[in-house]
Amino acid sequence: MRAVRIVAVAVGAAALVVCSGTSSASPKRAGQTCGGLPAYITGPEVVFGRPTTLAAAQKLQAQVMAQGFTFTAIEVGCNEFRVVIRGYDTFATAVAIQDEARRSTFRPTVECYHAPDKNGELEVAMGHAPDLDSAKALVALVASRGFVGAQLEADPCGGYEVMMKGFVDEAQANAFAAEAYGVGFNAHLEPES
């Protein structure tokens, strides 16, 4: 059963997982902001541990991989390293990996990673979807009602948000959200914009 779950994660994980190959024993990289790596996209992750040295993180990663969780990565934080599995788009997959890991000696947590702010770009959320197929269907529905150019963004705890971008100011974005709301979408200006 573990092999099936791990293989399901493998395709996405191979594309998204970045394994730290740095030889530095210090977690903080030059120019890095605390709270996560900007290179990662928003989404759920299973965290196996938070060692404070690279050597301890590599040891933990080897132990986790020996139990069959081969697509682990070491994320570099400001005061710690994290041994994680990420690269899937649903919270349910993260929980399934966590459940499988808890059958061994590990007690990982499922966490929701939110990528750094998008530089204040105004965005109107048109709706949310739990998986990629549902999100694509929502994009098609948005387009069928005359709102072309919708984009997908990952939600921190899995799933996707369908977004419209390219607004010149907040008034234009709010007017667009009101129009979309009027034709059945739960549209709203994103508060982080």
Q: Are 2-113 and 123-189 equal in CATH topology?
A: yes
Given 3.30.70.1070, 3.40.50.360, 3.30.70.20, 3.30.499.10, which CATH number is that of 2-113?
3.30.70.1070
Q: How confident is the model at residue 3 (pLDDT cuts 50, 70, 90)?
A: very low
- Write the burial class of residue 38 (CB in 10 Å: 0-12 exposed, 13-18 middle, 19+ buried): exposed
Check whether domain 123-189 has CATH 2.60.40, yes or no: no
Closest residue by Cα to residue 161 from 114, 120, 119: 114
Least confidently predicted of 6-20, 93-107, 109-123: 6-20
Position 118 scores a pLDDT of 60
Predicted confidence (pLDDT) per residue in 117-144, tens digit: 666 788 999 999 988 899 999 999 999 9
The span from the CA of 49 to the CA of 55, in Å, is 13
Closest residue by Cα to residue 27 from 16, 36, 14: 36
Beta strands, E only, the chain:
43-49, 73-76, 81-86, 109-113, 123-129, 151-154, 160-165, 188-189
Q: What are phi and psi of 180, to 5 degrees?
A: -65, -40
pLDDT above 70 for 13 = no
The span from the CA of 188 to the CA of 109, in Å, is 31
**What does the block give as tokens for 123?**
């965005």
Domain positions in the chain: 2-113, 123-189
The span from the CA of 108 to the CA of 111, in Å, is 9
Q: Are 17 and 73 in contact (CB under 8 A)?
A: yes
Read off the amino acid at residue 70. Answer: T
Region 174-188: mean pLDDT is 93
The span from the CA of 64 to the CA of 28, in Å, is 23
Please tell me whether residue 83 adopts helix, strand or coil conformation: strand
Predicted confidence (pLDDT) per residue in 49-107, tens digit: 999 999 999 999 999 999 999 889 998 888 899 999 988 878 888 899 999 999 999 99
Least confidently predicted of 29-38, 103-112, 168-177, 184-193: 29-38
Position 48 scores a pLDDT of 96
